[in-house]
Amino acid sequence: MYTKIKYLILAFLFGGSVLASNAFVTISDSVAGVDLSVRVSGLLVEENVALKLVRPDGTNIFFEKNADTNGILETSILGFHLRQSGTYHLEVVQNTGTLEQHFSIFPGVLSAYQSHIDLENPSIVADGEAEARFTVFLKDAFGNSITGKTVSIFSSRNEDVVIAQKISDENGEIHGKVVSATPGISTLSVVIGDTVIFQKPEVVFYLPESGLSNVGADDENPSFGEYIGQSLKAQLFDDPEEGEAAYFSLENIKGEATINENLTVKVIAKDDGGNIAKNYLGTIRFSSSDDRAQLPSDYRFTPEDQGVHTFFLAISFKTPGNHTLAVHDLGDFRISGEIALGITLGQGEVEVPTNTDPSLRILTPRPGTFRTSRITITGESTGCSAVKLEDGTFVLVDGLDTDKMGNFVFQTPILADGVHILKATCSDNTALVSNEVSLKIDRTAPANIQAVVVPSGNLAQGQQFTVTVSADEPLSNASAVFIGVLTPLQAQGEKLITTLTAPNACGEYPVDVTASDLLGNEKKFPSAAIIIVCGEGAGNGGATGEPDASKIAPLVVTNVSAESGDGKVTLFWSPAKDNGPIKNYKVEFGSVPLDSSEIPIFDQSNQVPDNRTQWYVDGLSDTAKYSFRVIAIDEQGNESPASDVIQSITLGAEANMHQSAPIELEKSGSTTSLWPFVLALLAGVGVLIMARRRHI
């Protein structure tokens, strides 16, 4: 800071007119929101200089940099500081004076969401002469006006006449009017090239003899005609009340990324005041200027989101350049948000063949774990006019044409959770096979969650305690619901923790936990912990009338999951809750043939020697499917109710069933398959049709 002030004082004393003899600034014009390279040459060896950036609105940005051993300074101005379009002024302050340079930042890509249309009057008489005037404002993602764009404006009705400018003026505006002699509602659409402005305002045309333009009008109230227009719009959208969502803020996403890089974005619903709209429960949809981008599916906010939801590693772009990422509410298009990103090829993203030898390779996706169920496969080939894509032994597509450059692209159907091995084969030469890409689809919520309460045991009324949540895999976030209050947990290392207060009323109170893994897969864990207030040994001396603690059975085991192995199945579960220590667990299981629909009998069991929450059952057959349930046992021998039933098979059984992806087995509590009933119903309908034909 001292150096910066010193340089500025020197520049002031010298009037900014004394320049280094050979110093020269190289900086080019650019587009809003994009990082900009700066090069200053002719400086002293490792000279420290202060740089001052003056933006079009008069605000200043200061930073210091050192030249290298050749007297050259190379740095970048972050795109975050270059979001305003206009003329910028860069000053390089040295000991000997100030070097100055001007450059321009131009508006970015037209934004279909930031651009908007204003109507002077939402309703007007349908006499063929009265004009409903409007103004179109063309904006980029940062709100900069876009000039010189050719615009087409249409009405939803052929009877209407739309008269408007064809090109946006120096303020990025298009002024126009619409007239009609036909009563009804007209919807205006604005098209710029391939972009359609998302907002589509409506104009109400009413009959001249209705007199609606003046009925009920006074100094404080609008005309009744305007009232009708507002009422008709209100039937489509309710104006947001205070505290309700007015727009979305997209945060925690990189401004610069490479193609196929998996990105995370946090969507925050905010009200007009910029506060989080915690009661937002709408459904959102993503869109992008990159029509090949991989985006999350529609998502409906839940009360637990509290107006904030993070989409982990769920977005990737496929085309280099400047792109927008937008999100909007499906029920009210006025609630939207947008950001701009720069997408580059990166290092080694695409390799161009250097010879004409036949070749075939898959470029994307890269090996890794994905939460999205649909994957875009891209690749390149030499000497192949068409390719076959396979997922293990399952053929995704056969005869997929390549373009003139030998490139191909394919969007997969929904993929099941588990490992997928992608491979391409040349249709013209089946001996030519691509590289194999192994990836994993993980949409499974975290299991084996542990919620540890400190202090353990019974609590006194009003006593504080902590709840720590952890799992076998890292968690991104978690929340706890205790006596009806939702509390987010704070990260401490790989664990998440919060402090709660026991209620003043005696009794047992569950702590419900919701946890998400790094990919954003979320699961609720009801009664992850049980808080006993006023129990024996509590801080207040306990309460009378408590049941015999030695006869209290543990609570049911939760979060049971299974993992297939070679001749075995490994089970995982969360620690059972009890008023005392858990001694061990019992795993009960039974089997039926792979193709059987019978309900197994739990005629076998394994006794877990201690209170571990992981156990494998081996010696299993590759021709059977197994059902498992877990029972907790405390120090007094009390047994908990049996857990939910989980089904699994061995890895050998998976191979026997010739599946390219893990088999989705029937889950505990699911209803019996409806297919037999559907087939029976279709057969019955067929008999009735044949009988009717004979009768005819």
Q: Is the pLDDT of residue 349 over 70?
A: no
- Please, which pLDDT band fits residue 494 given cuts at 50, 70 and 90? low
> What is the Cα–Cα distance from 321 to 666, expressed in whole angstroms?
45
When mean pLDDT is compared across 143-147, 235-239, 285-289, the lowest value belongs to: 235-239
Q: Is the pLDDT of residue 572 over 70?
A: yes
User: Looking at residue 539, what is its pLDDT?
Assistant: 44
pLDDT in tens, 662-674: 444 443 333 344 4
User: Looking at residue 87, what is its pLDDT?
Assistant: 93
User: Looking at residue 588, what is its pLDDT?
Assistant: 94
Between residues 239 and 182, which one has the greater pLDDT? Answer: 182
User: Looking at residue 608, what is its pLDDT?
Assistant: 92
Q: Is the pLDDT of residue 352 over 50?
A: no
User: Looking at residue 535, what is its pLDDT?
Assistant: 63
CATH class, domain 547-696, is: mainly beta
User: Looking at residue 236, what is its pLDDT?
Assistant: 40
CATH topology of domain 2-106: Immunoglobulin-like (2.60.40)
Q: Is the pLDDT of residue 232 over 60?
A: no
Q: Is the pLDDT of residue 427 over 80?
A: yes
CATH topology of domain 116-236: Immunoglobulin-like (2.60.40)
Full-prediction pTM beyond 0.95? no
Average pLDDT of span 352-365: 67
Query: Domain spanning 247-344 has what CATH number?
Result: 2.60.40.10
CATH topology of domain 359-441: Immunoglobulin-like (2.60.40)
Q: From start to end of 14-114, where are the E strands?
A: 24-26, 30-31, 36-41, 48-54, 60-66, 73-77, 86-94, 97-106
Q: Is the pLDDT of residue 139 over 70?
A: yes
Task: Please list, in sequence order, all residues whose beta carbon lies within 8 angstroms of the beta carbon of residue 270, skipping any fewer than 6 positions away.
Answer: 245, 246, 247, 248, 249, 276, 277, 307
Q: What six digits make up the tokens of 23?
A: 């110093």
Mean pLDDT of the chain: 78
When mean pLDDT is compared across 130-134, 240-244, 433-437, the lowest value belongs to: 240-244
Q: How many CB atoms lie within 10 A of CB 538?
A: 20
> What is the Cα–Cα distance from 364 to 377, expressed in whole angstroms?
5
Task: Please list, in sequence order, all residues whose beta carbon lies within 8 angstroms of the beta carbon of residue 589, skipping any fewer than 6 positions away.
Answer: 600, 602, 604, 605, 606, 617, 626, 627, 628, 629
8 A C-beta contact, residue 513 and residue 455: no
When mean pLDDT is compared across 333-347, 555-569, 646-660, the lowest value belongs to: 646-660
Average pLDDT of span 312-336: 84
Q: What six digits make up the tokens of 599?
A: 């309900």
Q: Is the pLDDT of residue 544 over 60?
A: no
User: Looking at residue 371, what is its pLDDT?
Assistant: 66
pLDDT in tens, 163-204: 999 899 999 999 999 998 888 888 888 888 877 787 778 888
Between residues 586 and 476, which one has the greater pLDDT? Answer: 586
- Please, which pLDDT band fits residue 77 given cuts at 50, 70 and 90? confident
User: Looking at residue 372, what is its pLDDT?
Assistant: 67
Q: Max alpha carbon distance in the chain (Å)?
A: 110
Between residues 291 and 286, which one has the greater pLDDT? Answer: 286
User: Looking at residue 658, what is its pLDDT?
Assistant: 54
Q: Is the pLDDT of residue 7 over 50?
A: no
Q: Taking Cα atoms as reference points, which of 285, 295, 117 lies closest to residue 196?
A: 117
pLDDT in tens, 447-486: 777 888 998 888 888 889 999 988 877 887 888 999 888 8
Q: Is the pLDDT of residue 94 over 70?
A: yes
- Please, which pLDDT band fits residue 631 given cuts at 50, 70 and 90? very high
User: Looking at residue 684, what is its pLDDT?
Assistant: 54
Q: From start to end of 335-385, where are the E strands?
A: 336-344, 359-364, 368-370, 376-382
Average pLDDT of span 57-69: 86
Q: Which residue ranges does the chain devote to CATH 2.60.40.10?
A: 2-106, 116-236, 247-344, 359-441, 547-696
- Please, which pLDDT band fits residue 630 given cuts at 50, 70 and 90? very high
- Please, which pLDDT band fits residue 305 given cuts at 50, 70 and 90? confident
